[in-house]
Structure 1
Amino acid sequence: MNQDQFAVLTDEELRAQVKQSKTARIYDAVIFGVLIGIAIYSSVKNGFGLLTFLPLVYLPIAARNKIKYTALEKVFKERKL
C-alpha cells in the first residue's frame, strides 16, 4: 500500500494498520537478528558459505516494510491521530 491507499482509510482502519505495522517491525527486527546470528555462527564454524549471506535475502522484505510504515506514519501524523 502506498500513501494514497492509506489516505482513503477510516481513522479506525488507520489505527489498526499502524498497530499491525508496529508489530511487523518488531518481527522484522527479530528475524533479522536471528539471521545475523546464524550468519555469524556459520562463518565462525564453517567459514564463508551460503548461510553467511542469508541476511541479505531478507533485506528487501524489511526495506519494503519500512517504506510502508513510513508512508503510514505520514498519513497518521497528517490526520493528527
Structure 2
Amino acid sequence: MNPENFTELNDQELLQKAKKLKNNKIIDATIIGFTLGAVVYGAIKHGFGFFTFFPLVLPFFIVRNSANNKLLEKAIQKELQSRNLS
C-alpha cells in the first residue's frame, strides 16, 4: 500500500494496519529464529553442506522486506499522530 493511501483510510482501518504490521514483525522474528535453529541443528547433526545453509534464503528475503515494512510503519505512525490517535 502506498503511503498516500493512508489518508483515505478511516481511523479503525488505520489502527488495524498498524496492528497488522506489529503482528507481522513478530511472525517474521519467529520464522527467522526457526530457520536459524534449523541451520544450527542441521550443522550439528549432519555437518556443513548446501542444505545446511539453504534455509537461510528465507530470512534473507524477510530482512530485505523489513525495510519496506519500516517505511510503511513510519507513514502509518505519522498519519496516526496527525489524527491524534497514538
Larger Rg: 2
TM-score by length of 1: 0.74
**2:60 alignment counterpart:** 59
TM-score by length of 2: 0.71
| Structure 1 unaligned blocks of 5 or more | none
RMSD (Å), alpha carbons:
2.1
Structure 2 gaps of 5+ residues are: none
Q: Give distance in 2, aligned partners of 1:77 and 1:25.
A: 21
Q: Percent identity of the aligned residues? A: 31
Query: What does residue range 3-18 of structure 1 map to in structure 2 within 5 Å?
Result: 3-18=3-18
Number of positions where the alignment pairs a residue of Structure 1 with one of Structure 2: 81
Per-residue displacement from partner, 1:45-74 (whole Å, max 9, x unpaired)?
221323424233233344243443333223
